[in-house]
Structure 1
Amino acid sequence: MFVFIIVAIVFGLQGAILSAIVYFIASKVIHIVEEGLSGSKTFKIITDQPELMVETIRDRLGRSATYNLVEGGYSNEQFKEITCVINRLEDSKIKEIIYEIDKHAFVTVYDVSEVRGGNFKKRNIH
Structure 2
Amino acid sequence: MNIALIAHDKKKNDIVRFATAYKNTLAMHQLYATGTTGLRIQEETGLDIHRFQSGPMGGDQQIGAMIAQNKMDVVLFFRDPLTAQPHEPDINALIRLCDVYAVPLATNMGTAEVIVMGLERGDLSWREIVSGE
TM-score class, shorter-chain normalisation, is under 0.3
TM-score normalised per structure 2:
0.24
**More strand by proportion, 1 or 2?**
1
TM-score normalised per structure 1:
0.25
**More helix by proportion, 1 or 2?**
2
